[in-house]
Amino acid sequence: MSRDPWRILEEEILNCTKCKLHMYRRRAVPGEGNRNSVLVFIGEAPGEKEDEQGRPFVGPAGKLLTELIESTGYRREDFYITNIVKCRPPGNRDPEDDEINACLPYLIKQLELVKPRIIVCLGRHSARTIFKLAGLKWTNMSTQHGKVYSIRLFNFNVKIIPTYHPAAALYNPQLKSSLEEDFKKSIKPVLSEVLEARSVKKTLLDFSCEKKSSLLK
């Protein structure tokens, strides 16, 4: 009997020693949420509260993210949430390239398992990393936030939306306004579009099955 791929992956993350961050962590933070979600939020790295609890976005930035998600009419639990790196960098510094590269196979596996239709990159390090994976050119957040990029990634179609990290928005009211606008004008409409398309597809599939069943009677 094969083991649950999610359980295997999370055990690997929790016991990882691939980069120097493992020497400083209390707990690794694999991610959490709906593993069948159409949308995945990807932050940059765990902070102090996340390191304590082993969960992503549970500090002040997490509270803001939860509020932003709820502003779309959904709950945090409806989506999958993770980070580029799974262990907290000392002093909440930016993750370094070698740390990102060491952790990247875990993120790739998560995306392959979820197969999201939308990826929201929270912060420039998240956006830069995902854009590189997707073969897209990353310039900066000020010119690219809120834009929707439709590409094929790991054999599935996905829309990538970069936006500011909630932590940055807490310290800059102007960034917070931009972040709120991105959720209102980009993330929510794209989410509605994807969910509507999925609903239509499901309805057509159900109708096809019903028609086939009636022909067999």
Domain that holds residue 158: 5-216
List pLDDT tens digits, range 51-92: 999 999 999 999 999 999 999 999 999 999 999 999 999 999
Quick check: 123 pLDDT over 50?
A: yes
**CA distance to 1, 26, 66, 105, 209, per residue, from 90 (Å):** 40, 11, 25, 22, 55
Number of domains in the chain: 1
Quote the pLDDT of residue 199. 80
Quick check: 42 pLDDT over 60?
A: yes
Quick check: 188 pLDDT over 80?
A: yes
| pTM for this predicted structure | 0.91
Domain containing residue 182: CATH number: 3.40.470.10
> How confident is residue 127, by pLDDT bands cut at 50, 70 and 90?
very high
Please tell me the distance from the alpha carbon of residue 121 to that of residue 189, in angstroms, as a whole number: 16
Quote the pLDDT of residue 65. 98
